[in-house]
Amino acid sequence: MTNEPALSLLWSEEFADHHGGHLLEDIWNFDIGDGASAGLVGWGNNELEYYTHDSVSINGNLLITAQRVTLDSGLTCYYGPAQWKSGKIHTAGKIGFKHGRIEINAKMPSGVGTWPALWLLGANLLDGVAWPHCGEIDILENTGAHPFQVQGTIHGDQYFGENGLTKIIQSPTTLSSDFHTYSINWTADAIEWFFDDLCYNTIKRADVESQGKPWPFNQEFYLIMNLAIGGWFAGEVDPELDSAQLQVNSIKYYSVDGIGQLILH
């Protein structure tokens, strides 16, 4: 009989406890716009949304709301007047994570054209190490066109974009019908993905490096949560769709058998 790993909670966000209804500025940053100011027009994916501060709110859960907007909204994207606004938040330069277990309890939006993501980027991106060399860990990506689909992926040099190392499973119910816990167990030598209590994907450092590919996952990463609309991954947007919402109940970060480091800036 094997012993269960020892989990020690290092940090959490319980959004039900945010009585003021605002994100803490010492934890979260907001991305604003269509990506052009960051040199990533359409956020590098031909996405349609313009990210705004007011698309993110707290009402018992964290709510990231995508809303179709009118031509007179005053929001201008790379393609002209914005069609959608939505929200994107991240912890870059404020809180970082290195190894351990990250659990996010969330309910996905519904609607063809939605693209919610719970993910991590290497913090050395802030020091000028370009993507994908910095590394990316997708705890979960989903699209409204595939409402049962659970997908966890890593990206790095030689395996990025459509060539990311990934695995997909199907949930018995749509991801928008209820809250689920999306997690990774992350060590120096492997990353495991969980859907609720099911481990559905394991990628080992040795297997990646045996193919002559780098493993950029032994450094600090920061957390990102966003709801994109359209783009190459999500595809065409249902013309009848007017709004969609990603809901996050909690985020928990643990060390596992003493492995895991919370980095405060």
The set of catalytic residues is 136, 141
Query: Can you say whether residue 232 is alpha, beta or left, with left for phi > 0 and alpha for psi between -120 and 50 degrees?
Result: alpha
| Distance, CA of 139 to CA of 131 (rounded, Å) | 17
Whether 258 and 188 have beta carbons less than 8 Å apart is answered as no
- The SS3 of residue 249 is strand
Whether 81 and 235 have beta carbons less than 8 Å apart is answered as no
C-alpha dihedral (203, 160, 135, 254), degrees to nearest 10 = -40
Beta pairing, strands 84-86 & 49-51: parallel
Amino acid at 130: A
Amino acid at 248: V
Whether 98 and 219 have beta carbons less than 8 Å apart is answered as yes
The owner of tokens 């980027």 is 121
| Distance, CA of 83 to CA of 70 (rounded, Å) | 7
Structure tokens at 142: 């989903």
